[in-house]
Structure 1
Amino acid sequence: MPETIDWVPDDHVPQRSRRGVLVLLLVIALLFAGSRTAVSFYVDSLWFRSLGYGEVFWKTLDIEWSVFAIFAALSFAVIYGAYLALRRVHADELPSGHTIYLNQKPIRLPVEPVFRVLAVVAALLVALISGASMMSEWPAIALWRYASARSGATDPIFGKPVEFYLFTLPAWHLILNWLLAMTILCAAMAALLLMVTGGVQAIERRRLRFADEKPRWRTISIALAFLLLVAAVREYVGRFDLLFGLHTIFQGVTYTDVHVAIPGMTVVAAALLLGTVIAAWNAVAGRNPRLLGLAVTPAILCFFGMTIVSWYVTNFVVKPNELEREKPYIVYNIEKTREAFGLDKFQQREFPAETTVAAADAGNNQPTIQNIRLWDWRPLQDTLRQIQEIRTYYDFPDIDIDRYDINGTQREVMLAARELNVDKLPESSRNWINEKLIYTHGYGVTMNPVNGFTPEGLPTLMLSNMPVQSTVPEMKISRPEIYFGELTNTDVYVKTKQQEFNYPQGDTNSLTTYEGTGGIELGGFLRRLLIAFDRGDLSKLPFSDDVGPQSRLLMRRNIRDRVSTVAPFLTFENDPYLVIGGDGRLRWIIDAYTTSNDYPYASRYQMQDGTANYVRNSVKAVVDAYDGTVTLYVFDAQDPIISAYRHIFPSLFRDAASMPDWLRKHVRYPETLLNVQGEVYGLYHMTDAGVFYNREDLWTVAREVGNGENGEQTTLPMQSNYVLMKLPGETGTEFVEILPFTPSNRNNLIGWIGARSDGANYGTAIVYDFPKTRLVDGPLQVEARIDQNAQISGQMTLWNQRGSQVRRGSLLVIPCGKALLYAEPIYLQAEHSPMPELRMVVLALQDRLAYGASFEAALSSLFGESGTAQETVASAEQSSAGGQPSTAAKSGDQQGLIHEAAQDFADYQRLTAEGRLGEAGQKLDALKKALDALSRSHL
């Protein structure tokens, strides 16, 4: 015995010691994780406060943790309460302990205390999981809490307003899913207790003694009653989901749904309620376990009955007369889908698409003609990277298209931000001081007109170089530094003792110090330590002599990450664009959308990274490139979703009317929105149910010839393009986003959308329907005409064989007068230098194709028979040539013209063979002018 007594402590002390160590490590881990979370909250609060949105941060935190606390507390109460109730029912059967024999020695196991501990632990675990999952859904709960019904319109089936489906129904689904999970867990707990108390053995007996089994069947009856009650509510609420059903022809409710499924689901819900009553009565009486089967039988019978009737109605009532039966519901789908995607704001107009040169009316459409975009963004980006990056660590991540008043005239231009890419820094310069303190920002922008070219085929730059040089007196940049942009993905510290690199200047560098108020002030050592801990900079920041109390941390500098953190409930455009402000500062504009999948009767479409059946471009986010200030302007106050968020966060949004006028001039119709609307419009422009059902007039976005991923030519869907033009039937020049359409599986044009961006017309669109009685060339047909032209095809073949590659720009289709004008730039790129140069411009009408080495030459060739056009072209040529006509044209000497043309052609061939493409282009232009002059001399 003494040996046994000595052995027991020897056996247990190490176990207790190990257990204590494990508990200590667990406590330390929890404290560490909790401290990281607390520090992250602290730094985030500083960041939001630096933007002036501290109230938004605390309101969001309050909503999130309120949702967590409520559902965690309810979950714990339900699970632990269910355990206590079940424990009370089985008080006489659940043993306080159980004895087992190990090596013929009795060991007493404390069953009841173990179950109590397990119940508490399980309830806590379930509470944490359910609270966290519901916490992540806080926008749905908040919208339900703060939204108010504003629209008077109701759906035709249930009579509910749109706000019910956008806000109330999603919240109901969340709560019902939570209730179902709780009910299933409680049922599982009841089953577990039955097994422990011998319920399994009692159920397996051939002869049951009901008087002895009342507590056990009472337990099952209670669990079943709650399960059936939740199922009944879910079935009743599930009727509303039929309005979002996906079917072969359309989406939404169907004839079978209205006449069978909805009444049937109501009956099933009633049957489930009846089963709830039966199960509850059996729980009180506890007399007959067979009543449990009776409780679920009515619902099962009703469900199978509804399924059989639905099958019969679908196959023998609907399908033989599908159009007639489904017609009202197709109309609902058409109307609601058009509303959900804003197609009801589209105006439709007929466009004659005439074929003659006179129909283009060049004289009255000069704003359109003179702003035809010839620079495609991809070749321009490659060219700018060669001529304007200056140093290898700069990059132009994107090209933006906008309009500005230049010399008293509105011009369409292309802008590119010169951003700093720290990943391109030399390896020897990749250290903490350089990356965090010195190389902190990009510098400047480039700007060029959309059709401006030098004689070498390069862009005519209005803004360029470092420091920024401007050829336009009124275009000045006061703050060219870009601390916040599309490539600024790292944290930096500013206002330190280290001066920041500004831009290269000969053999030296221009240095600067940040003068803005953006970012988080580092303050004392404790705040600096907490910030370093949160940002993963603990080994450097607290010990740097260059960082002082006045230094500032600039974090979340990527503008999309920045605005997404401020308003995570919005969907942001993937393509921000840069604006030069009236004060000379650089600002980014990012379009933001409110989306939903819960708009009744509407069809769902792909929207960036997800799907949506409702979308509104309700917000324009503006980010200052220097100090990172974020301002959100509401541009669709009628949108119920943004109205609800404004109620939740009143300090976050501003009215569109408060946007400065100089900034409002640069607001544009978003690309993503028009692309999605274009996809929807291809089907839903058919408003007649019969035409829609038969898909008689299905449209698709037109396709064009483009370069694939490997550089090979292929056909691709056209992307929307921005143009500055005068819309047919309208007065004045507008900034318009265009998208052409062809009939499905055909190449001829059938329609064209012009989305408007200026003034009172902002947010509207015009759809021009082309004649269906004759062929109107589509982009691929025009591309085929270009390829079939012997001169153009021969020239491109020649270029492709001499150490260079031909690149084709986007083909623009622009209504001009009463005709359609097609324009495509063609670039030449040497193999040894990825710097495309414009070498040819192709213009076309329906039955006329022209080309030239310059835009003016192509215009002259196309409109040569039009007196107005000739005057315009002559003026343009004279302007480009410095106001003096060519000497050969003055002399009128035909022999001299022939000799000059022959010499130009010989020089062109020689320069092309030598790879001197810029000079070769000048000779080709001179050759074209000589031939034009020779042609005129024969008239």
Structure 2
Amino acid sequence: MRAAARVLLGTVFVLLLLFLLSLIAFDLWTGRVWYRSVGFSSVYTVRLRTQGMLFVTFGLLMALATALNAWLAYRLRPPLSAMSFEQRHLERYRTSVARHRARALVAVAMLPGLAAGTVAAAAWKTWLAAANSTSFGSADPQFHRDLSFYVFRLPWYRFLVDFGLVALAVSAFTAALVHYLYGGIRMQGPGRLLSYPAQGHLGVLLGLLVGLKAVAYWLDRYSLAVKAGADRAAGGWNGIGYTEANAVLPAKAVMCGIAVICAVLFLATPLRRTWALPLAALALMAFSSVLIGSICPALVQQFQVKPDEQAKEAPYVARNSAATAAAYGMSGYVAAAAPRAGALQASPSASGASSGSSDGSSTGSSSEAAVRVAADDARQRVQAVAPWLRTGASPYQVTVGGRTEWVVDGYTTSDSYPFAARTGTAMGGGAVDYIRDSVKATVDVSTGAVALYQWDTVDPVLRTWMRAFPGTVRPYATLDDELKSELRYPQELFALQQDMLGSRR
């Protein structure tokens, strides 16, 4: 009966696995067929290749780290002598594991490996942006680093640090369980409750974890440039203010130093065979994080900034205003953008876009054109072939060369532009602190064919994505003059810029 049950369960498991694999294969095949039909198969290939590489790389790293530390904890198990009640209770579990040791090790490593691979695959855009980053040609006023560091590389560095912290935490937890199972860690009985090998193993893991936390503290210094302080968030201001510059930044540097010392003490555990100093340093780190990380900045804000806030914050407000103007393309804005926005609002094709989005009918176009693609469908197509863009909410129709096409505005955005104010948009997605009208996309209303054209020739974000997906965006020089004359300044972008100016950001 037991053999029959095992065969039945194994058969059900295999069938379920085959069913899931067939669903995945069908989804991949249909996606490939669709992207090939619109001429953007390279986008699909690059995305799948990147996701697959990240899934395998980080999944294996997590699985290997977990398995290695579980195996090492087993190898460092103490010899069992007279067993307490606790150890006699655990003996039956040790016996069960001994019969399936290899499979148990694989099972222990598989779950965190799959989870880590899935999370890493979802960060494919973060990796592509970092790997293909393009210089902005200008630096931030605090750390004097090129803005590409914040927009492209800093998010990836934060991902790597977070992954490392989770991997070490999972490894330490798994190692502690194995040490407990085999008597390296005990809750009762005579003698040491923590064996020297278990103490050294866990000490090294904690040392690596605290050392990586020191790296996180150091990166936190740069992250301050793209995060709003708690006291400034309500006003929409972003980046470093007086309190951050004079209290939070020094605190992060001090915390980084304390974490390094704490990590070294933990790493020396196998030699010193004591946790007294490392635990004291850890307590100091926790105390310091509260004192100099929270209390001191609050005191500076209350007693130095608030009595003379306007004077203290003036240089930082000027930084914010300059960064916001640059991030939202508002340099020389009033004189240049207003006439173009006025032309847009008077455009018949633009005013007819909303009706086209609901029923797919053609407004202000050739009456013989057979409209099959609605405005919403046009946006979805552009979003699919250029997943790094945000698409405009109001596509409009133009007739060029006898063809009727939807024009969809494609925006490159970021939420990591230093010192710039952050705001929501009408294009969906989260809040942004940088935006450019960088791409003009056309969708043929009869065939659904999609074309992407470079509109902003200097935007570093667009140039980065053009490096990541070569050949998908056609150069500005390929824009047809007739099509170029029909293009309009985006109304939603104009409204956003007006709002930013009106808020004195």
TM-score, normalising length from structure 2?
0.88
Does the C-alpha gap of structure 1 residues 569 and 415 become closer, same or farther in structure 2, counting only changes over 3 Å?
A: closer
Counterpart check, 1:196 vs 2:113:
no
Does the C-alpha gap of structure 1 residues 580 and 16 become closer, same or farther in structure 2, counting only changes over 3 Å?
A: same
Q: Deviations over 1:254-309 (max 9, x none)?
A: 112111211211111111111111011113332x2323312313323432341333
Q: Deviations over 1:789-826 (max 9, x none)?
A: xxxxxxxxxxxxxxxxxxxxxxxxxxxxxxxxxxxxxx
Tell me the SS of whatever aligns to 1:653: coil
Give the Cα separation in 1 of the matches to 2:243 and 2:111: 44
Where does 1:793-812 land on structure 2 (aligned, <5 Å)? none
Do the aligned residues in 2 keep the contact of 1:402 with 1:414 (CA within 8 Å)?
Answer: yes
Could you say which residue in structure 1 is the equivalent of 2:103?
Answer: 117
Does the C-alpha gap of structure 1 residues 63 and 107 become closer, same or farther in structure 2, counting only changes over 3 Å?
A: closer
Could you say which residue in structure 2 is the equivalent of 1:10?
Answer: none
Tell me the SS of whatever aligns to 2:471: coil
- Bigger RCO of structures 1 and 2 (CA < 8 A, at least 6 apart): 2
Where does 1:183-262 land on structure 2 (aligned, <5 Å)? 183-198=168-183, 201=186, 209=192, 213-243=195-225, 244-246=227-229, 247=232, 248-249=234-235, 250-262=237-249
Tell me the SS of whatever aligns to 1:588: strand
Give the Cα separation in 2 of the matches to 1:100 and 1:327: 68
Higher mean C-alpha deviation, range 277-286 or range 187-196: 187-196
Where does 1:206-605 land on structure 2 (aligned, <5 Å)? 209=192, 213-243=195-225, 244-246=227-229, 247=232, 248-249=234-235, 250-286=237-273, 288-306=274-292, 307-347=294-334, 401-402=348-349, 414=352, 445-447=362-364, 476-477=366-367, 480-486=369-375, 558-581=377-400, 583-605=401-423
Could you say which residue in structure 1 is the equivalent of 2:476?
Answer: 656
Give the Cα separation in 1 of the matches to 2:99 and 2:216: 37
Does the C-alpha gap of structure 1 residues 115 and 240 become closer, same or farther in structure 2, counting only changes over 3 Å?
A: farther
Instruction: Give 1:209 shift.
Output: 4.5
Could you say which residue in structure 2 is the equivalent of 1:612?
Answer: 432
Where does 1:715-754 land on structure 2 (aligned, <5 Å)? none
Instruction: Give 1:57 shift.
Output: 2.0
Give the Cα separation in 1 of the matches to 2:80 and 2:414: 53
Give the Cα separation in 1 of the matches to 2:121 and 2:144: 31
Instruction: Give 1:195 shift.
Output: 2.6
Give the Cα separation in 2 of the matches to 1:647 and 1:41: 24
Counterpart check, 1:138 vs 2:124:
yes
Do the aligned residues in 1 keep the contact of 2:454 with 2:476 (CA within 8 Å)?
Answer: yes
Does the C-alpha gap of structure 1 residues 565 and 92 become closer, same or farther in structure 2, counting only changes over 3 Å?
A: farther
Which protein shows a greater Rg? 1
| Displaced runs of 4 or more, over 6 A | 98-101, 415-421
Does the C-alpha gap of structure 1 residues 318 and 415 become closer, same or farther in structure 2, counting only changes over 3 Å?
A: closer
Tell me the SS of whatever aligns to 2:442: strand
Letter in 2 for 1:231: K
Taking only aligned residues, the RMSD between alpha carbons, in angstroms, comes to 3.0
Give the Cα separation in 2 of the matches to 1:145 and 1:684: 36
Give the Cα separation in 2 of the matches to 1:85 and 1:28: 35
Does the C-alpha gap of structure 1 residues 44 and 348 become closer, same or farther in structure 2, counting only changes over 3 Å?
A: closer
Letter in 2 for 1:660: D
* Equivalent residue in structure 1 for 2:146, among 161, 177, 201: 161
Give the Cα separation in 1 of the matches to 2:238 and 2:11: 58
Give the Cα separation in 2 of the matches to 1:19 and 1:415: 62
Instruction: Give 1:93 shift.
Output: 5.3
Do the aligned residues in 1 keep the contact of 2:378 with 2:443 (CA within 8 Å)?
Answer: yes
Give the Cα separation in 2 of the matches to 1:112 and 1:638: 63
Structure 2 residues not aligned, in runs of 5+:
none
Letter in 1 for 2:349: D
Give the Cα separation in 2 of the matches to 1:416 and 1:191: 61
Greater fraction strand = 1
Q: Deviations over 1:352-397 (max 9, x none)?
A: xxxxxxxxxxxxxxxx9xx997xxxxxxxxxxxxxxxxxxxxxxxx
Greater fraction helix = 2
Give the Cα separation in 2 of the matches to 1:674 and 1:34: 47
Q: Deviations over 1:541-572 (max 9, x none)?
A: xxxxxxxxxxxxxxxxx212211111111111
Instruction: Give 1:116 shift.
Output: 4.6
Where does 1:522-921 land on structure 2 (aligned, <5 Å)? 558-581=377-400, 583-608=401-426, 609=428, 610-684=430-504
Do the aligned residues in 2 keep the contact of 1:598 with 1:613 (CA within 8 Å)?
Answer: yes
Do the aligned residues in 2 keep the contact of 1:338 with 1:684 (CA within 8 Å)?
Answer: no
Give the Cα separation in 2 of the matches to 1:261 and 1:195: 41
Letter in 1 for 2:394: D
TM-score, normalising length from structure 1?
0.49
Structure 1 residues not aligned, in runs of 5+:
1-12, 352-367, 374-399, 404-412, 422-441, 448-462, 464-475, 488-557, 686-939
The alignment covers a number of residue pairs equal to 487
Tell me the SS of whatever aligns to 1:251: coil
Letter in 2 for 1:215: P
Letter in 1 for 2:414: S
Do the aligned residues in 2 keep the contact of 1:56 with 1:651 (CA within 8 Å)?
Answer: no
Give the Cα separation in 2 of the matches to 1:43 and 1:264: 53
Give the Cα separation in 1 of the matches to 2:101 and 2:345: 79
